[in-house]
């Protein structure tokens, strides 16, 4: 199984970032495509995922959507979270389906992370109809069908040591997939990664990582932008 474990943001020094997977938040400000390209050139092992702000997922303005579409070309995933404001209506399903079609490509998968009043069976039906990966916390919810999974583990709290029970639950769920992409919220993410890869007998890390997470400050994405123009219009770069 191909396993990537990561966190919701890039922190510290990029060369010492101790994960192979990371989300980059995309709200009204969308990361520039050339910024993402430069990060990938610096860390070719790093899988990037753009996570759209929940309140914007199905209400993107045309200009923001255009920038997100450009940025998506440099990301392995775009995650579309929806909140309790997005009910299970035909119109919302249509909007989700159309947005996924716009963002999906041969190199970019689209995932949907529902919150609110959806029943589990309804989530699964929507994911199938919209052709998106269904994001769930697999230590708390039924694993969705398919060969690829994207899961988000809710905050581990303040404990530096993850729950062995939670690790066992996730490891068991992941054995059914060919590819697994795991986002771990909260403290203890690096320890969780080490315990999980050990439980699965996986070699997720390609080289030696530090003993503790390099917390640091959140990376300034614009600091990775190249000075030269890569052929894009400045407002979309």
CATH of the domain at 134: 3.20.20.410
**What pLDDT is attached to residue 204?**
55
Position with higher pLDDT, 229 vs 130: 130
Q: Which of 115, 113, 185, 174 is nearest to 148 (CA)?
A: 174
* Average pLDDT score over residue span 170-195: 92
**What pLDDT is attached to residue 236?**
46
Residue 187 pLDDT exceeds 60: yes
Q: Is residue 233 a part of any domain in this protein?
A: no
The pLDDT confidence band at residue 152, using thresholds 50, 70 and 90, is: very high
Asked if residue 43 lies in contact with residue 58, where contact means CB atoms within 8 angstroms, the answer is no
Q: Is residue 230 a part of any domain in this protein?
A: no
Residue 107 pLDDT exceeds 70: yes
Mean pLDDT, all residues of the chain: 86
Q: What is the value of pTM for the model shown?
A: 0.87
**What pLDDT is attached to residue 12?**
84
Q: Is residue 98 a part of any domain in this protein?
A: yes
**What pLDDT is attached to residue 207?**
40
Residue 110 pLDDT exceeds 80: yes
State the total domains in the chain.
Answer: 1
Residue 30 pLDDT exceeds 70: yes
Q: Is residue 232 a part of any domain in this protein?
A: no
The pLDDT confidence band at residue 206, using thresholds 50, 70 and 90, is: very low
Q: Is residue 78 a part of any domain in this protein?
A: yes
* Average pLDDT score over residue span 71-96: 95
Residue 226 pLDDT exceeds 70: no
Question: How far is residue 55's CA from residue 107's CA, in Å, rounded to a whole number?
Answer: 26
- Residue 31, domain extent: 2-225
Sign of CA dihedral 186, 72, 14, 196: positive
For residue 47, how many other CB atoms are within 10 A of its CB? 18
**What pLDDT is attached to residue 71?**
96
């Amino acid at each position: 199984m191909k396993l990537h474990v990561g966190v919701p943001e890039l922190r510290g020094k990029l060369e010492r970032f101790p994960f192979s997977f990371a989300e980059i938040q995309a709200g009204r400000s969308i990361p520039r495509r050339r910024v993402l390209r430069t990060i990938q050139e610096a860390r070719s092992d790093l899988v990037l995922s753009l996570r759209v702000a929940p309140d914007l997922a199905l209400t993107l303005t045309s200009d923001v959507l255009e920038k997100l579409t450009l940025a998506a070309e440099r990301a392995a995933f775009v995650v579309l979270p929806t909140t309790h404001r997005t009910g299970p209506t035909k119109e919302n399903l249509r909007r989700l389906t159309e947005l996924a079609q716009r963002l999906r490509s041969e190199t970019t998968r689209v995932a949907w992370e529902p919150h609110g009043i959806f029943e589990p069976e309804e989530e699964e039906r929507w994911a199938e109809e919209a052709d998106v990966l269904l994001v769930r916390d697999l230590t708390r919810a039924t694993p969705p069908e398919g060969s690829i999974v994207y899961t988000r583990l809710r905050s581990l709290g303040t404990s530096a040591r993850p729950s062995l029970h939670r690790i066992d639950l996730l490891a068991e769920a992941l054995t059914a997939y060919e590819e697994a992409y795991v986002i771990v919220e909260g403290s203890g993410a690096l320890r969780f990664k080490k315990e999980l890869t050990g439980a699965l007998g996986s070699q997720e890390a390609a080289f030696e990582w530090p003993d503790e997470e390099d917390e640091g400050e959140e990376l300034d994405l614009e600091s990775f932008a190249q000075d030269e123009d890569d052929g894009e219009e400045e407002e979309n770069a």
